[in-house]
Amino acid sequence: MIPFTPKDSTPKNLLVSREHQSSATVVAVGETLFGGEEFPVIAGPCAVESAHQLLKTASGVCLSGARGLRGGAFKPRTSPYSFPGLEEEGLQLLALAREKTGLPVFTEVMSELQVELVSQYADVLQIGARNMQNYPLLRAVGRQRRPVLLKRGMAATLKEFLLAAEYILAEGNPHVILCERGIRTFGQDTRNTLDISAIPILKERTHLPVIVDPSHACGLSEVVPHLAKAALAVGADGLIVEVHHQPSLALSDGRQSLDLPAFHDMMVSLRALAPAMQRKVYTTMSPLRATG
């Protein structure tokens, strides 16, 4: 259907392709389903900073209807002198937040050597944009059983993105969620440029679920809810959003983090939009645990 030029064509017989599997893959993370009728929203801070920060934020997003908790324990930082994350302590806090809220944990793994450790705590292993073509890491997460959230590289074509996912499937792990998070262009008004067209094109070419990260896409918290609605309307299968209970105090990415009331408002507006898209956006999944 898409008129490939020879140069950009994705081979037709890939495991990720619609030619190989016409029906949509639904990736289950606990009760949360990616790729079906549900439009799950994963939310949480850029980095796990403390028990207080994580539990405050996790409880808040849970009450507003988040269906997964994001948070970085191992942080890829442009500078070697920036906060690298709390590492294993961060993973332990994520597990604690899961216990308190019931939300499954999404967190990044940066190295083959961390896969075993991170998979002991996380429900979903995230591969960041900088590592989209770190092939040994892709193979390593392909050899274990946790679902994988694969972010598009900042200058990756859709073919390169799908071939990166293919590395994971080729090792035997079919539970891959793709994530469009903005590409690098001449534009300097936003942190990156959300490539909204990528979502319908990816969904045409692959059976894997495709979600959107509006926070990294624009880098501006006031723009995030607009992009979130656009993502739902364009046919994405969910969102991953940065939320912090006190964005102005965040150790990283504060400028793009929603505070809890803004996150709540965004969820309300998504819920209003969802029926016209034949989608469901949940309200809180487990209020007792969320407030526990």
| HSE, side-chain direction, 13 A CA sphere, residue 172 | 4
Measured between alpha carbons, how far is residue 66 from residues 50, 57, 62, 70, 281 in Å?
20, 11, 5, 10, 9
Q: Which is nearer to a second copy, 29 or 163 (CB)?
A: 163
Q: Cα(108)–Cα(94) distance, rounded to whole angstroms?
A: 12
> What is the smallest separation between the CB atom of 21 and a second copy, expressed in angstroms?
17
Residues 6+ apart with CB under 8 A from 189: none
CA-based torsion, 149, 32, 74, 78: positive or negative: positive
Q: Cα(287)–Cα(2) distance, rounded to whole angstroms?
A: 44
> What is the smallest separation between the CB atom of 85 and a second copy, expressed in angstroms?
11
Question: Considering only CA atoms, which of 65, 123, 67, 63 is closest in space to residue 95?
Answer: 123
Q: Cα(212)–Cα(195) distance, rounded to whole angstroms?
A: 10
> What is the smallest separation between the CB atom of 132 and a second copy, expressed in angstroms?
8
> What is the smallest separation between the CB atom of 233 and a second copy, expressed in angstroms?
4
Q: Cα(156)–Cα(158) distance, rounded to whole angstroms?
A: 6
Q: Which is nearer to a second copy, 8 or 116 (CB)?
A: 8
> What is the smallest separation between the CB atom of 109 and a second copy, expressed in angstroms?
10
Q: Which is nearer to a second copy, 276 or 288 (CB)?
A: 276
Q: Which is nearer to a second copy, 220 or 251 (CB)?
A: 220
Q: Which is nearer to a second copy, 42 or 110 (CB)?
A: 110
| Amino acid at the residue 284 | T
Q: Cα(212)–Cα(240) distance, rounded to whole angstroms?
A: 6
According to DSSP, the β-strands at 32-34 and 239-242 are unpaired
> What is the smallest separation between the CB atom of 243 and a second copy, expressed in angstroms?
19
Q: Which is nearer to a second copy, 16 or 290 (CB)?
A: 16
